[in-house]
Amino acid sequence: MGQAAQPAAMPSRQRACVSQSGQAASWWDGAMDWLWGAANGAAGQRYRAAMNRVRQMARIRTMVRRIIRSAVGA
């Protein structure tokens, strides 16, 4: 969805914003990443650790199911 998707009768200022959106988006992403990291330093680490634990448990469960299935099949 580039310039072609935009209507032709658009104010020039808005069109300029659209053309610069790539640059603005990268700056915005960088700022948001920094803010997010600053706000969630420890909380983010805790959240990531919790998610890793959840993923690990899911992995273990699937492994156990596979083992049980193979044992039942054998």
Condensed to tens digits (0 to 9), the pLDDT of residues 3-37 reads 555 555 555 555 455 555 566 677 778 887 787 77
> 2 or 44, which is more confident?
44
DSSP state of 3: G
Q: What pLDDT score does 1 carry?
A: 47
pLDDT at 74: 65
Q: Can you give the length of the chain in residues?
A: 74
All structural domains of the chain with their residue ranges: 13-73
Structure-model confidence comparison of residues 66 and 48, the more confident one = 66
CB atoms within 10 A of CB 17: 12
Of 45 and 65, more confident: 65
Report d(CA 46, CA 2) in Å as an integer.
Answer: 39
Interacting residues of 10 by C-beta distance below 8 A, sequence separation 6+:
18
Q: Is the pTM of this model over 0.85?
A: no
Can you state the angle between helices 12-19 and 21-39, rounded to 10 degrees?
60
